[in-house]
Amino acid sequence: MRAALSIGLPGTTDHATLRALAPRLERLGFDRLWLNDVPGGDSLAGLRVVAEVTDRLGLATGVIPLDRRPVEKLDLSGLPAGRTTIGIGSGGARHPLELVSAGLADLRARTTAALAVGALGPRMRRLAARKADAVLLNWLTPTAAQHAMEDLHRDAGDRAGSVRGVLYVRTIVDGAARAALQREADRYGSYSSYAANFARLGVSPIDATIDRGATLAAYDVVDEVVLRAITVEGTLAELERFADEAARWRAAAAPAEE
């Protein structure tokens, strides 16, 4: 199986940068652009900008924390439902499963866009397998990703062919960004929920990243790989180079697979 290849950026990415970069991503053949929904950055607003300058590129949020942004307050206008994926998560909610389950039902009533659930633990993954169109996985090694996909197919039952497994992987395309990648890994390793997950897997956070394409093919165990771009400063020039290099990795791997 060859995974679809997408790009992930912070929701705080400048709109002028998104407007300039998105047509390049579409031209290079990337499947989707995922925007993280973080404080200070509205992923939906960013995707509206992307929708204006592209025709085919998929649009996705990864993920909107419903404890901070309830479904009823989400502005879904201006997003073509046929190429949009609304990713949601529980954030820091006290009752995460109940919040996400209700959020999925509310969104189903509001949009025909695909719905994804950000899931770290097995119970949230099971909910996604049964009620969502995709599960968004994070910080997994290829081996752990393969096991997660096996669980997804088992939990989805008759829906197994209808639920996509999507994996976010922090990635760099040059050595200059390695320090930034390490800082990102250390940051997530400091969060208790992620630290517990790394401990269960028996890996360190940096083991679940991609350093210049060396392990990209190993992630073809999932349906879609989102290369979360890590650069030194996040400039348009850096992101353009990131996209060009990532596209070259996939093109270089194609002959061996055919």
pLDDT by residue, tens only, the chain of 258 residues:
689 999 999 999 999 999 999 999 999 999 999 999 999 999 999 999 999 999 999 999 999 999 999 999 999 999 999 999 999 999 999 999 999 999 999 999 999 999 999 999 999 999 999 999 999 999 999 999 999 999 999 999 999 889 999 999 999 999 999 999 999 999 999 999 899 999 999 999 999 999 998 889 999 999 999 999 999 999 999 999 999 999 999 888 765 444
Residue 114 is predicted with a pLDDT of 98
pLDDT value for 15: 98
Residue 174's alpha-carbon distances to 206, 231, 242, 249, in angstroms, are: 15, 8, 9, 13
Question: What distance lies between CA 185 and its chain's CA centroid?
Answer: 16
Locate the domains of the chain by residue range: 4-257
- pTM score, whole prediction: 0.96
Residue 160: what pLDDT?
87
Residue 258 has a pLDDT of 46
Question: 4-257 in CATH: which number?
Answer: 3.20.20.30
User: In the prediction, which pLDDT does 255 show?
Assistant: 53
Q: How far apart are CA 48 and CA 243, in angstroms?
A: 20
**Alpha helix ranges (H) inside 118-233:** 122-131, 142-156, 178-189, 192-201
**Residue 63 · residue 42 · CB < 8 Å:** no
Torsion-angle region of residue 103: left (phi > 0), alpha (psi -120 to 50) or beta? alpha
pLDDT of residue 215: 87
Q: Which distant-in-sequence residues (6+ apart) come within 8 Å of 226 by Cβ? A: 6, 7, 8, 32, 34, 62, 166, 167, 168, 169
* Angstrom distance (rounded) from CA 161 to CA 223: 11
Angle CA(212)–CA(215)–CA(216) in degrees, nearest 5? 85
